[in-house]
Amino acid sequence: MNKKTSNSLKQYWQLLVDYLAPHKGQVTILSIASIFNIILKLVNPQIVRYFLDSAEQAAPLEKLTTAAGLFIGFALLNQGIQVLVIYLGENIAWLATNALRADLALHCLKLDMSFHKRYKPGELIERLDGDVTQLANFFSQLVIQLGSNLLLILGILALLWAQDWRIGLSITLAMLIGLLILDWLTKRTIPRFQAVREVEATLFGFLEEWLNGTEEIQTSGAKPYIMRRLFDVMRSRWKKTLHAMRLHVLVAIMPMNVFMLAYIAAHVLGSTLFRSSEITIGALYVIFYYIDVLKGPVWEIRRQIEDLQRATASINRITELLAEQPSILDGPGLPDLPGPLRVNFDRVTFQYEDDPDTNILHDIHFTLQPGKTLGLLGRTGSGKTTLTKLILRLHDPANGEIQIGTSTGALYDLRQANQAELRKQIAMVTQDVQIFQVSVRQNLTLFDESISDERILQVIEQIGLGDWFHALPDGLDTSLEAGGSGLSAGESQLLAFGRVFLHNPGLVILDEASSRLDPATESRIDKAIVELLENRTGIIIAHRLSTVQRADEIMILQDGQIAEHGSRSDLVANPDSLFSNLLQTGLEETLV
């Protein structure tokens, strides 16, 4: 067995053990029931042998009838237990795959943003739902069913050997040849089926993405182009599927051909043995009967192997996903940091990993004073948003260090922080608001059940969504649509503010947060923003003078470097400062 196979087997086994362990009780009952059924299947044919031999020897009628009755009774029992087996199997499958699905979701959510740039939501849906569901059968049925089928086969072969060693041998050989060929074929089909699942993920990722882009398609007149792209993807799907099927058909015809060998052995050897009176006619018939019973498990094994092929492809993809590690690792954790936060950038440089030659940020060196608000300005693409992402540890700097601390205490390297704890202390509002298909309450608290309803209602009024809220039929329980289409862009923005107000962060980041609000609405929640920034450190990225008027300090970024940094009053007073110049260019209005 080569290393690759033993690695795959180890993966299966580990996955199996981890997710079935909590359901030991059900698994045990399932196993016992399956074994009991095997025994029934082995015993019943002997009743037929007895029947046929008795009939040939003209035994009394009652004996025949009793045998028949017993046979039927055992058959019914067999079926009843089978239902139990399938029920338990299904239950275990769902319990186990649901656990896996949730674990995978959590794992993916904890991976960094560089991972999420590589994988489209549609593809992750295919993995979390499509691939994990493929495993359902693997968990519940594969081991138990495969095991019991193997036992059944062994039992039958043993009985055949007991009948006559030549028959036992030839049929065993037939089975072995069959299994070897099947194994060889299976290995070759696995990668082909994996390719099929991948192209299916591409197809559904494509559909999901463009279903969200119907406005763009319509207003750009791009429908023929998109349809052609669809045809292209479906064509690849056909090609890959055909490629897999070409090999799969050989797997499909294998059992039939293998049994042909077994039957031929039974015909030739059986008739010889009967002729020389070494076996009775009943025994001869039962040889054929057992071969027939063998078909069931072999067919089952074939199906299980097919499922295993698909499941293997899925397991590989899931293991790949689980192997992805976040590059942002939690440190030992920081002590409690109450009050407004102080942030220090110490010669920080940053590039994206897939584009290491482009410096997004270069030699950033400054201190964010606690309790003060910093207005961060610069052309789009100058690195402002990236800077804030570094404070949140959505990325780590390439060079240099970022430090955080309280207003009077020590400063700690951000890399020492635990990400979840850190982000509880910092709040960010961006332009891009994600509304979830859950209730208003859950959208505002983001599933934090410790926040009381009174507090939520208070905040709703505070952010100016009172009117909108009172029109809802189920109040906080009203569920919002996907994509937030029940809310206008401005209302979504207000909701994003609501999320922040429910926190108690030491640092607040507003990234173009008011850009979708018209000046009249913005001044409405202005008061709330002022309250929010009081006794907290703040960073505001905006284009409007009115917003930045609130800032204590101003920093201007150009091409990833600090072009200017100082207190707002100083910069305004100095006519040569970049800030003053910017104030001039914008005519009356607002600029940076």
- Between 158 and 438, name the residue whose CB sits nearer to another protein: 438
426-429/411-413 β-pairing: unpaired
Q: Distance between CA 572 and CA 170 in Å, rounded?
A: 98
- Between 10 and 239, name the residue whose CB sits nearer to another protein: 239
**Chain position carrying tokens 């182009």:** 225
Question: Cβ 96 to another protein, closest distance in Å?
Answer: 10
- Between 410 and 520, name the residue whose CB sits nearer to another protein: 520
Question: Cβ 3 to another protein, closest distance in Å?
Answer: 33
- Between 344 and 547, name the residue whose CB sits nearer to another protein: 547
* Token pair in block for residue 539: 């960073």
Question: Cβ 31 to another protein, closest distance in Å?
Answer: 18
What is the separation of C-alpha 147 from the centre of its chain, rounded to a whole number of angstroms? 29
From the number of C-beta atoms within 10 Å of its C-beta (0-12, 13-18, 19+), residue 396 rates as middle
- Between 17 and 106, name the residue whose CB sits nearer to another protein: 106
Question: Cβ 1 to another protein, closest distance in Å?
Answer: 30
Nearest-Å Rg of the Cα atoms of the chain is 35
* Token pair in block for residue 480: 């919002």
Q: Distance between CA 109 and CA 421 in Å, rounded?
A: 16
Backbone angles phi, psi at 349, to 5 degrees: -125, 145
Question: Cβ 439 to another protein, closest distance in Å?
Answer: 10
Question: Cβ 143 to another protein, closest distance in Å?
Answer: 19
Question: Cβ 152 to another protein, closest distance in Å?
Answer: 15
- Between 485 and 569, name the residue whose CB sits nearer to another protein: 485
Question: Cβ 386 to another protein, closest distance in Å?
Answer: 8
For 49, half-sphere exposure in the C-beta direction (CA atoms, 13 angstrom radius) is: 16
- Between 161 and 210, name the residue whose CB sits nearer to another protein: 210
- Candidates 158, 140, 149, 162; CA nearest to 85 is 140
- What are the residue ranges of helices labelled H in 131-213? 132-137, 143-163, 165-211
Helix (H, G, I), strand (E, B) or coil at 100: helix
- Between 5 and 488, name the residue whose CB sits nearer to another protein: 488
411-413/399-406 β-pairing: antiparallel
Looking at the DSSP bridge assignments, the partners of residue 413 are 403
Q: Distance between CA 375 and CA 372 in Å, rounded?
A: 10
